[in-house]
Chains A and B, each alone.
Chain A
């Protein structure tokens, strides 16, 4: 199929291209980025006048709930949601059921993603068997099966010896280790950030040190083992400054933040709003500002959805008994570009943190617009003016604290491998 996207403002942070061009696509690849292309007859012409044409988004962490929790969401349902969010590549963390610690699970997920055919679903392999932090997973086999990295999901490895050996073994295989930094003992005591709000609401708090102690430990072991590492979902300003110092020292580390941590803080819990129950918890206003600064300065390279679709019952109950998580695929782009509206980020940095930078972390050819590249493209309506209504989400998970927020940016076309997979 041949397709042309005409009249849009093409912005590709990877090549620093920003110009009004048409993009010509044939056989799933970009064949030209230019004003006109003689002899090209398109089967489909997409009108992008007044809109931004950018690479399809790359999301480093999105839980699709399959296998294991198909009653909550499926690869098919969440692939549709990803397309509606302008995402063309996403990474599934290993905490599925069964855990992604064998090639068979990798193949199962890839097969179902291919059948859905709307988004590139990549898998993150388990660092330890069953994510239990005791025995190393078969990382070489997982790498061979296609895993783009290894991780222990949200389960902290408490045993420092196992942790060190896992990092050493991953380094041997040249695998990037993706870390959600949390001291298991300090984190498990609470459900929200330890501070003024936890004191007022009488909820057990998770201190900032639950994150900083783990980051410091991990940085020391990363330095010692020489492994390439990525910190997922950083939530505190102090952890960020530790990562910045380590990057300046030359450590091979990167970091991401969730779009919701860039907008919300502990005070958004209001009167026990379970939709704001996330892990790591929403921290102070100052932390939120420092995270935004971290994206501006480049210490944080990627903004992610950290999508966790949940069924309605999971959020119905007293706050501490509800499950943490936000359905984030469809708010990733508008939340990130809201920071541009608010003058917290420039447009190119915002788009880079959603496209080429996460792709670079994964070491994959995605998140860029260039001749010969796979045509994964997002066309963004910059003047959409709509109210976020989670009950209208394509995702099976309607759990979002952003109901009623006004957004101005919205994907209007998503192309995956040259095929139009979403149109609004």
Chain B
């Protein structure tokens, strides 16, 4: 299904979704990120891997953290980066997505990093770009956020060493979360022992057991004996759509407090893709507590994005060399 993101040699051409990717490829991404992870501590924080390449951050939806880490990752790989500003873009003036894309492509772009509020938008763009252009999905609607999932896997591996015996709980708005979908696919591909999702029925996809998860509606029992707790951000507009009565009630039932966290294993780590809503999905004491690895996730995001970008553009270079 998702193999249009691979070259005929099985190398990464685009990175649109975790679905359909094999474990060795995910492991390779993490291994390569490991090589980049010390770069930030050096005096010269750059490698010349993507020198001469042009990367455009095409963000149709607001983002600070993801866009910044993609930009930083590209710059650390020595690529030229342009941020496409949606508020002044031609799309806002009525130009179609495809016309915008082709115009930017005509500027000899090598890679688009795309964020869009519609599921499938990155896939759509990947289907229409020129053969030499790579597309990285930086989050599309409720569908996928594969680099976020990989930085989470990287963080888990660094703390737990392996995946096979782990029990992982994902808490909150699974229904609208592209992060959760990609995390579930990544965890399953990497062979995690048990994946749990915890939330009210209004925030869980129908038939979500078919994604290979165990469903819990009670936070305490869902956290029982888990090694990793991944909290999801709750969009406050969910109260408007009759999905939840109030943020206060959500916190009462599904907010992660120190007391609730005690149901997990003592060495469990707490993760969150950010930005966090303190007092809505997580208590400050937990977010800033000893088990929290939230800031590490941000740091790891740069290494993971460097890994993915270098792999995708590397395979494209191989392709061009083979063709020339």
Which of A195, A202, A313, A317 touches B143 (beta carbons < 8 Å)? A202
Are A318's CB and B141's CB within 8 A? Answer: yes
Of all chain B residues, the one with the shortest Cβ separation from A270 is B1
Alpha-carbon distance between A200 and B120 when the two chains are bound, in angstroms:
11
Q: A199-B206, A201-B143 are in contact. Are A318 and B118 (CB under 8 A)?
A: yes
Are A321's CB and B143's CB within 8 A? Answer: no
Of all chain B residues, the one with the shortest Cβ separation from A273 is B120
Which of A195, A196, A271 touches B2 (beta carbons < 8 Å)? A271
Q: A272-B120, A317-B96 are in contact. Are A205 and B206 (CB under 8 A)?
A: yes
Most central of A198, A200, A202, A316 by chain B CB within 10 Å: A202
Q: How far is the CB of B20 from the nearest CB of chain A, in Å?
A: 10
Alpha-carbon distance between A138 and B96 when the two chains are bound, in angstroms:
40
- The answer, yes or no, to whether A413 is at the interface (CB within 8 Å) is no
Of all chain A residues, the one with the shortest Cβ separation from B3 is A271
Count of CB-CB pairs between chains A and B under 8 Å: 72
Interface residues of A in 239-285 (CB under 8 A from B): 270-272
Are B210's CB and A201's CB within 8 A? Answer: no
Most central of B19, B116, B121 by chain A CB within 10 Å: B121
- The answer, yes or no, to whether A213 is at the interface (CB within 8 Å) is no
- The answer, yes or no, to whether B208 is at the interface (CB within 8 Å) is yes
Are A313's CB and B181's CB within 8 A? Answer: no
Alpha-carbon distance between A200 and B178 when the two chains are bound, in angstroms:
10
| Chain B residues in 8 Å Cβ range of A320 | 118-120, 141
Q: How far is the CB of A13 from the nearest CB of chain B, in Å?
A: 40
Are A272's CB and B124's CB within 8 A? Answer: yes
Complex interface bits, B123-161 against A, C-beta within 8 A gives 1, otherwise 0:
110000000000000001111100000000000000000
Complex interface bits, B79-97 against A, C-beta within 8 A gives 1, otherwise 0:
0000000000000000011
Are B96's CB and A203's CB within 8 A? Answer: no
Are A313's CB and B119's CB within 8 A? Answer: no
- The answer, yes or no, to whether B275 is at the interface (CB within 8 Å) is no
Most central of B116, B123, B205 by chain A CB within 10 Å: B205
Are A317's CB and B1's CB within 8 A? Answer: no
| Chain B residues in 8 Å Cβ range of A393 | none
Are A199's CB and B210's CB within 8 A? Answer: yes
Complex interface bits, A314-357 against B, C-beta within 8 A gives 1, otherwise 0:
00111111000000000000000000000000000000000000
Which of A199, A203, A207, A316 touches B120 (beta carbons < 8 Å)? A203
| Chain A residues in 8 Å Cβ range of B181 | 200, 202
- The answer, yes or no, to whether B211 is at the interface (CB within 8 Å) is yes
| Chain A residues in 8 Å Cβ range of B207 | 195-196, 199
- The answer, yes or no, to whether A194 is at the interface (CB within 8 Å) is yes
Complex interface bits, A203-229 against B, C-beta within 8 A gives 1, otherwise 0:
111010000000000000000000000
Q: How many residues of A contact B (CB 8 A)?
A: 22
Q: How far is the CB of A69 from the nearest CB of chain B, in Å?
A: 18
- The answer, yes or no, to whether B292 is at the interface (CB within 8 Å) is no
- The answer, yes or no, to whether B37 is at the interface (CB within 8 Å) is no
Are A199's CB and B124's CB within 8 A? Answer: no
Are A202's CB and B124's CB within 8 A? Answer: no
- The answer, yes or no, to whether B4 is at the interface (CB within 8 Å) is yes
Q: A196-B207, A199-B205, A271-B4 are in contact. Are A319 and B96 (CB under 8 A)?
A: no
Q: How far is the CB of A276 from the nearest CB of chain B, in Å?
A: 12
| Chain B residues in 8 Å Cβ range of A270 | 1
Are A316's CB and B96's CB within 8 A? Answer: yes
Of all chain A residues, the one with the shortest Cβ separation from B2 is A271
| Chain A residues in 8 Å Cβ range of B178 | 202
Alpha-carbon distance between A195 and B208 when the two chains are bound, in angstroms:
9
Are B119's CB and A203's CB within 8 A? Answer: yes
Of all chain B residues, the one with the shortest Cβ separation from A317 is B97
Alpha-carbon distance between A316 and B120 when the two chains are bound, in angstroms:
12
Alpha-carbon distance between A319 and B124 when the two chains are bound, in angstroms:
8
Q: How far is the CB of B91 from the nearest CB of chain A, in Å?
A: 11
Most central of B120, B124, B205 by chain A CB within 10 Å: B120
Are B119's CB and A202's CB within 8 A? Answer: yes
Q: How far is the CB of A285 from the nearest CB of chain B, in Å?
A: 13
Q: Which residues of A contact B (CB under 8 A)?
A: 194-196, 198-205, 207, 270-272, 313, 316-321
Q: Which residues of B contact A (CB under 8 A)?
A: 1-2, 4, 19, 96-98, 116, 118-121, 123-124, 140-144, 178, 181, 205-208, 210-211
A201-B143, A203-B142, A317-B97 given; name 14 further pairs at CB < 8 Å.
Answer: A194-B206, A200-B181, A202-B140, A202-B141, A202-B144, A202-B178, A270-B1, A271-B123, A316-B96, A318-B97, A318-B120, A319-B119, A320-B118, A320-B120
A–B pairs, 7, beta carbons within 8 Å: A194-B206, A198-B206, A200-B181, A202-B143, A317-B118, A319-B120, A321-B118
The 8 A-B pairs with the shortest beta carbon distances in the complex, nearest first, are A202-B143, A202-B142, A318-B118, A272-B120, A199-B205, A318-B121, A202-B119, A319-B120
